[in-house]
Structure 1
C-alpha cells in the first residue's frame, strides 16, 4: 500500500499537475484574458504592501530558480565543474534559508494585511486567501526541511531529489522510487509544491506569465501626455 501510494503521488500526480499547469494557463489566456491580472490592492495600506510584496517576491524568485537549477541540472554537470554534493547541499541550505526567511516574512506581512484589514478582506476572494495560505504553508514546510537537511550534509538526499525530478521530466517509470525513503516533511513539501502547479491556472498566480522582463531591454521612455494631448498642462 505504501509503495502504491508513493508511486501514485510522486509518479503519476506530477504529470497531472504539469498538464493542468500548462494547458490550463493556455486556455485561461485564450478565453479569460480579462481575469489575467494580479488584482492589486495597493491603494490600501500601501507601505505594508510594498515591504511585504518586495520581500515575498524576492525570496520566492530565489527559491524557485534555486530549485529549478538545483533539481533539473544533470548531476554530471556539477561533477564536471567541480561542485561537490556536500557543498551543493550546504549552499542550498544557506541560500535557500536566507531566501526562505525573506519570503516568509513578506508572506506574513501580506497575510496579516489581507486578513487583518476589513477593507482589504472585503475586497479579497476566497481564492485569493486560499492561494496565499497555500504558499505560506509551503514556505513553512520548506524552512522545516532545513534541520533535517543539516543531518545529511553529504548531499545524498539531495541526489535522490535530483534523480526524482529529472526522472519525472524524462518520463522514467521508476522516478517515484527515489523519494520513497524521504522524510514525511519533504514528501509533504513536494506534494504541496506539485499542488501549487495544479491550482496555478485558476488563481491570480497566472500573472507570473506576464512578468514585464522585456522592460529591461526596451528602448526609450514611456511618453505620458496630459488630457489635452499636447504634453502641456492644461491652462
Structure 2
C-alpha cells in the first residue's frame, strides 16, 4: 500500500464513497424528497430526436447493464465449468452482444446529447444538472466502447474476468484487493472511475427516476380526452 497510495484510494476507498452516496442518497431522496423524483420532459419542445434517441439509448443501456452483470458478477470458473471457453465467451457472446447494445446506447446518447446542447429551446430550459448528466453519460458510454473495441485489441493479454471482475466482486464482501487493478489498462480504469462517479451522483439528479417503478399506471383509471367540437 505504501508504494501505491493513490491506487489504494481509487480501488479501496473511492468505490465505497460512491456506493455509499448512491445507497444512502437514494434512501434520503425517496424518504424525504419523493415528490421530486421525476424526469422533467422536454417532449413538447422537440419530439422527433427525443423519441428516436431515447428509445435507442434505453434499449441499449438495459442490454449493456445486463452484459456488465454477466461479465463482472459471473465468475470465469462458472462458465469454464459449463464448458464455455474464453474464445467462445468473448467472440460469440460478449463481443457480439456488447457491440449490438453498445452501438444502440452510443447512438442514442449522442443524439440526446446533441439535442440537449444544440437545440436552442431545449438548452434554454435545461438545468445545469440536466446538462452535466447527459454529458457524463455520453463520456461514460464512450469510455466503455473504447475499452471494449479499441483498448481490448491493443492489449490482447489482458482479461478483465481475471482481474477487474474479481476486484468488483470483492467489493461486495468488503475485501477489495487494489493490486488486481494495477495492471488494468487506463481506458478500463477511467471507465470504472467515471461509472462510480455517476453512481455517486445518481440520487441527486434526474437519473433517480429510473428507480421509481410506475406501479400506479397498472391500476389507475384511463384518462379520457375529448376533442372540443368544431363550431
Deviation at 1:213, TM superposition (A): 7.7
1:137 matches 2:135: no
CA contact (8 A) 2:168 2:176 kept: no
TM value normalised by structure 2 = 0.88
Corresponding residue SS for 2:40: coil
Partner SS, residue 79 of structure 2: helix
Paired residue for 2:169? Answer: 166
> 2:197 maps to what in 1?
195
In 1: Cα distance, 2:227 partner to 2:125 partner: 35
The separation in 1 between residues aligned to 2:114 and 2:103, in whole angstroms, is 16
CA gap of 1:148–1:234, structure 2 versus 1, over 3 A, is: closer
Query: For residues 210 and 192 of structure 1, do their structure 2 counterparts lie closer, same or farther at Cα, with a shift above 3 Å needed?
Result: same
Q: 2:222 aligns with which of 212, 221, 224?
A: 224
1:143-154 map, 5 Å: 143-145=145-147, 146-151=149-154
Q: Distance in 2 between matches of 1:225 and 1:151?
A: 56
List structure 1 segments (4+ residues) > 6 angstroms apart after TM superposition. Answer: 232-235
Question: Which shifted more, 184-193 or 145-154?
Answer: 145-154
Q: 1:95 deviation in Å?
A: 1.6
Equivalent-residue separation in structure 2 for 1:213 and 1:155 (angstroms) = 44
Residues 2-11 or 16-25, more deviating: 2-11
Deviations along 1:134-175, one digit per CA (max 9) or x if unpaired, are: 11011111111122212455673332111111111121142x
The 10-residue stretch of structure 1 (72-81 or 105-114) with the greater mean CA deviation from structure 2: 72-81
1:107 and 2:105 aligned = no
CA contact (8 A) 1:29 1:36 kept: yes
1 CA distance for matches of 2:223 and 2:36? 28
Q: Which runs of 5+ in 1 are unaligned?
A: none
How big is the shift at 1:180? 0.6
> Does the CA-based 8 Å contact 2:158-2:184 persist in structure 1?
no
Aligned length: 226
Task: Give the direction of change, closer, same or farther, for the CA distance of 1:158–1:147 in structure 2 (3 Å limit).
Answer: farther
Residue deviations 1:2-35, cap 9 Å, x none?
6221111111111111111011001011111121
Q: TM-score, normalised by structure 1?
A: 0.87
Quote the Cα distance in structure 2 between the aligned partners of 1:23 and 1:10: 20
Counterpart in the other structure of 1:3: 4
Unaligned runs of 5+ in 2: none
CA-atom RMSD in angstroms: 2.4
Alpha-carbon shift at residue 223 of structure 1 (Å): 3.4
**Alpha-carbon distance change, 89 to 7 in structure 1, aligned in 2, over 3 angstroms:** farther
Corresponding position of 1:92: 94
